[in-house]
């Protein structure tokens, strides 16, 4: 019999109606009454961590989720985390870095309508997630939602109301679940072992059938700022952003364009700090195909003049989460930060 632990954190799936709108309120005992019939081959336990709207999710909550998986890792074959949809992509990304090389699946799911409603997607999402988490072929961190299985570092919420809320960005979905049947497009163990595909010399003499042991982290540096460029933006806040944050992710136009009005102030601030003191990463506002700084002169100028990171085809959520994970370790050199950023954890980046 396969054992699955459901970890609840709140969100719409566990919400009830109140005079002021939906609020998380279903207890783990009440949730059990709504569990779909899975059969007699899966043993399910439920652990409640907290009851919050996912818009309130912070670094401390992520650490508590990762620790809950770590503390119960030996006792279960898979994990299902019930989570609100609004920040689920961020949580899936950060858990992909906090829980690495997992031979057991860590599945995030939720719903667009509460599980207690007569018409809801919660029961089907929960059933699919439990089936996937109990399957011996599953491993690593994924989102299972609306019949899709999406890698934790590739998910983005693309619809605010519809049931098909999430998409896989710049990578095909790992699998689909149809009528209780898992249809795999990539085997999980192929997907989550990129170091062998990239020919890492350190693994050249290892048995390619042997998995690396699971690694847990419980440190996050949340001091990462997202600077989303808009037409006509003025540079006045840039010095304060550099002063207050350890990393700045610039969400640029197109392939990597930065308005001329911002460039001088941005360059002046970058010259004040070493690249490891204030890490600058470039990404794009365009959902698909990634950034390409070398395409235009403005992008080449910043890349040639300063030591920066380029997200390329990584999602914004994965870029921010990976920097939070990397920068939690103090005293790193720029080369160490750069190496860790570009080293794939799963296929979080297609270099």
Q: Write the DSSP assignment of 180-223 as a string of letters.
A: TEEEESS-HHHHT-HHHHTT-GGGTTS-TTSPPPPEE-------
Do 58 and 90 meet the contact criterion of CB atoms below 8 Å apart? Answer: no
Among 129, 187, 94, which residue's Cα sits nearest to residue 4?
129
User: CA 108, CA 79: separation in Å to the nearest integer?
Assistant: 8
Question: What are the extents of the domains in the chain?
Answer: 2-195, 224-342
Q: Is 322 a residue whose pLDDT tops 90? A: yes
Q: Which single residue is written with the structure tokens 């989550």?
A: 192
pLDDT at position 205, please?
35
Q: Which helix (H) or strand (E) holds 260?
A: helix 260-272
Max Cα–Cα distance, the chain, nearest Å: 65
pLDDT at position 210, please?
52
Identical fold for domains 2-195 and 224-342, yes or no, is yes
For residue 169, what are its two tokens? Answer: 């960005």
Q: Is 166 a residue whose pLDDT tops 90? A: yes
- CATH number for the region 2-195 comes to 3.40.50.1170
Residue 31 has φ and ψ, to the nearest 5°, of: -60, -35
More confident residue, 195 or 330: 330
For residue 182, what are its two tokens? Answer: 């898992």
Instruction: Give, as one character, the DSSP assignment of residue 347.
Output: S
Percent of the chain at pLDDT exceeding 70: 89
Q: Which residues of 196-221 are buried (b: 16+ CB within 10 A; e: fewer)?
A: eeeeeeeeeeeeeeeeeeeeebeebb
User: CA 83, CA 110: separation in Å to the nearest integer?
Assistant: 5
The pLDDT tens digits of the residues spanning 228-280 come to 999 999 999 999 999 999 999 999 988 877 888 888 899 899 999 999 999 99
pLDDT at position 172, please?
92
Do 306 and 297 meet the contact criterion of CB atoms below 8 Å apart? Answer: no
Helix (H, G, I), strand (E, B) or coil at 22: strand
Q: Is 284 a residue whose pLDDT tops 80? A: yes
Name the residues annotated as catalytic.
12
pTM of the model: 0.90
More confident residue, 207 or 297: 297
Residues 6+ apart with CB under 8 A from 169: 154, 155, 156, 287, 288, 315
pLDDT at position 204, please?
34
Instruction: Give, as one character, the DSSP assignment of residue 257.
Output: B
The pLDDT tens digits of the residues spanning 69-113 come to 999 999 999 999 999 999 999 999 999 999 999 999 999 999 998
Q: Is 196 a residue whose pLDDT tops 60? A: no
Model confidence at 297, in pLDDT bands (50, 70, 90)?
low
Mean pLDDT calculated for residue range 57-79: 98
- CATH number for the region 224-342 comes to 3.40.50.40
Question: Among 137-146, 152-161, 207-216, 281-290, which stretch is predicted with the lowest mean pLDDT?
Answer: 207-216
The pLDDT tens digits of the residues spanning 220-235 come to 999 999 999 999 999 9
Mean pLDDT calculated for residue range 157-164: 94
User: CA 177, CA 58: separation in Å to the nearest integer?
Assistant: 30
User: CA 85, CA 114: separation in Å to the nearest integer?
Assistant: 12
User: CA 206, CA 203: separation in Å to the nearest integer?
Assistant: 5
Own/partner pairs, 290-294, CB within 8 angstroms, 24+ separation: 290/170, 290/314, 291/252, 291/255, 291/256, 292/255, 292/256, 293/255, 293/256
Q: Is 199 a residue whose pLDDT tops 50? A: no
């Amino acid at each position: 019999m396969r054992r699955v632990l459901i970890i609840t954190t709140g969100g719409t799936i566990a919400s009830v109606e109140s005079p002021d709108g939906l609020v998380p309120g279903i207890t783990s005992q009440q949730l059990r009454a709504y569990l779909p019939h899975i059969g007699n081959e899966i043993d399910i336990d439920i652990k409640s961590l907290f009851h919050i709207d996912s818009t309130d999710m912070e670094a401390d909550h992520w650490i508590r989720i990762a620790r809950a998986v770590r503390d119960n890792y030996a006792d279960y074959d898979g994990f299902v985390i019930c989570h609100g949809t609004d920040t689920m992509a961020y949580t899936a990304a950060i858990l992909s870095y906090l829980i690495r090389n997992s031979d057991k699946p860590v599945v995030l799911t939720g719903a667009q309508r509460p599980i207690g409603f007569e018409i809801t997607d919660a029961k089907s999402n929960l059933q699919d997630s439990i089936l996937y988490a109990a399957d011996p072929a599953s491993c690593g961190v994924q989102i299972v939602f609306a019949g899709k299985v999406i890698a934790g570092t590739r998910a983005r919420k693309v619809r605010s109301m519809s049931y098909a809320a999430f998409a896989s960005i710049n990578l095909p979905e790992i699998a689909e679940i149809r009528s209780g049947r898992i249809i795999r497009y990539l085997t999980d163990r192929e997907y989550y072992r990129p170091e062998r595909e990239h020919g890492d010399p350190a693994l050249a003499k290892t048995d390619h059938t042997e998995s690396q042991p699971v690694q847990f982290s419980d440190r996050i540096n949340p001091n990462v700022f997202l600077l989303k460029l808009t037409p006509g933006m003025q540079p006045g806040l840039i010095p304060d952003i550099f002063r207050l944050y350890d990393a700045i992710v610039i969400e640029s136009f197109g392939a990597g364009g930065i308005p001329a009005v911002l460039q001088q102030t941005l360059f002046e601030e970058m010259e004040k700090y070493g690249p490891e003191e204030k890490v600058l990463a470039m990404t794009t506002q365009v959902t698909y195909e990634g950034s390409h700084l070398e395409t235009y002169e403005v992008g080449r100028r910043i890349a040639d003049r300063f030591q920066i990171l380029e997200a390329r085809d990584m999602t914004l959520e994965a870029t921010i989460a990976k920097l939070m994970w990397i920068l939690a370790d103090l005293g790193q050199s720029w080369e160490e930060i750069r190496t860790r950023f570009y080293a794939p954890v799963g296929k979080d980046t297609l270099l």
